[in-house]
Structure 1
Amino acid sequence: MPPPTRKLLITAATDLLDAGGRESVTLREVGRRAGVSHNAPYKHFANKEALLAGVAAEELTKLSESLAALREGSRPEGEVLRAALGEYISWALAYPARYRLVFGVWSAPFEDLAVAAGSSYRTLMAIVEAAQRAEQLPPGDTQRMTALLQALIHGAIDLTMIGHLAIGGKGNADADGLVDDLLHHLRVSAAAVPAV
Structure 2
Amino acid sequence: MSTRRARLAWMSTRDSLIAAAAGLLDSSGPDGVTLRAVGKCAGVSHNAPYKHFQDKEALLAAVAAQELRVRGAAMQAAVEEAATPLDALRAMVRDHVDWAMRHPRRFHLIFGLWTRYDEELDRAAGETRRLFVQAVRAARESGALRAHDDERTAALLMSLAHGAIDLALGGHLAEDGKGRADPQGLVDDLIAVLSVNP
Whether TM-score is above 0.5 comes out as yes
Q: Does 1:174 align with 2:173?
A: no
> Residue deviations 1:137-160, cap 9 Å, x none?
213110000000011000110000
Q: Judging changes above 3 Å, is the alpha-carbon distance between structure 1 residues 184 and 74 closer, same or farther for their aligned structure 2 residues? A: closer
Partners of 1:143 and 1:149 in 2: CA distance: 10
Q: Does 1:87 align with 2:78?
A: no
Q: Which residue of 2 aligns with 1:137?
A: 145
Please, which runs of 5 or more residues in structure 2 have no aligned partner? 1-7
| Number of equivalent positions | 189
- Residue 136 of structure 1 and its aligned partner are, at CA, apart by 2.1
Instruction: Percent identity, please.
Output: 48
1:72 counterpart (61, 80, 99): 80
Q: Which residue of 2 aligns with 1:113?
A: 121
- Partner of 2:179: helix, strand, or coil? coil
Amino acid at match of 1:107: T
Q: Which residue of 2 aligns with 1:156?
A: 164
> Residue deviations 1:94-117, cap 9 Å, x none?
000000000011110001100000
Q: Does 1:4 align with 2:7?
A: no
Runs of 4+ in 1 over 2 A off after TM superposition: none
- Alpha-carbon contact 1:133-1:139 (below 8 Å) kept: no
Q: Does 1:183 align with 2:191?
A: yes
Please, which runs of 5 or more residues in structure 1 have no aligned partner? 192-196
- Residue 73 of structure 1 and its aligned partner are, at CA, apart by 3.3
**TM-score, normalised by the number of residues in structure 1:** 0.93
Amino acid at match of 1:17: L
Q: Which residue of 2 aligns with 1:44?
A: 52
More helix by share: 2
